Amino acid sequence: VLCLARVTMADSSSALSSPLAPAIPSLADCRRAFDMDGYVLFKGAVPRAPLAALARDLTSKWQADVAGGAMFQGGGNLSGHLNCFPGSASRFVYTALEGLGVFDIVAGLSPEKLRKPNIGCNLNLPGSHAQNEHIDGYRAKPFLIANVAVVDTDLTNGAMEIIDRTHQRDYKYWEIMLRRGHRRRLLMNQGDVLLRTSTLWHRGMPNHSSNPRPMLAFTWENGGSPETDPYAAHGGNIAF
């Protein structure tokens, strides 16, 4: 059964949270919520057990690359927000979303025909810093992003912060800095899927835990992946 709901949230100033609306069953309702808020959430869309195994594999690969000196010490390693390819072993996530009809919702929300998504992952490292507020890509070319929580994601390990409804018009960076809009931290349980527009202003937040926090990303920038099988990249291996 497909269960689409608004995400559990907490204000940036508080660790308290509460679930909002229950299921949103139709594409029309999804579109209304998406147009208003810039995101919707599929609760418990992906099984937890294989996600836990994937989290261990991603962490082990990162640790091995660091220990072996293969990891570039600047960029994401410096800020604490590191992008990677999650490997073909993560294909079960795609299969789960496809089976539930999540990609049908994506297709219904998109104004253009889509290919298979680009496959990526962000590893939020312990001791990371808050990112600058930003959108993904260019305002003139919005695209859809589906983030999958590989582990429970909360205020401790760096749940994303959004600025309410900033997808509804074009903003300059200085306007975002001056704007007193309400900011929210999006809390997700392992297996939840956050579908959002690239033009919603947001930022990654510090990971105060002792463990890396992975978050998968399916993106449809420029219509999606040019590859027939996006999981064939890097020989199907996890790559940082």
pLDDT digits 0-9 by tens, 169-189: 999 999 998 876 789 999 999
The encoded tokens of residue 156 equal 């401790």
Cα separation, 29 vs 57, in Å, equals: 37
Mean residue pLDDT across the chain: 88
Mind listing the pLDDT tens digit for each residue in 127-148? 999 999 999 999 999 999 999 9
CA distance 202 to 132: 8
What is the DSSP-derived secondary structure letter of residue 181? -
Which residues of the chain carry a pLDDT beneath 70?
A: 1-25, 72-79, 180
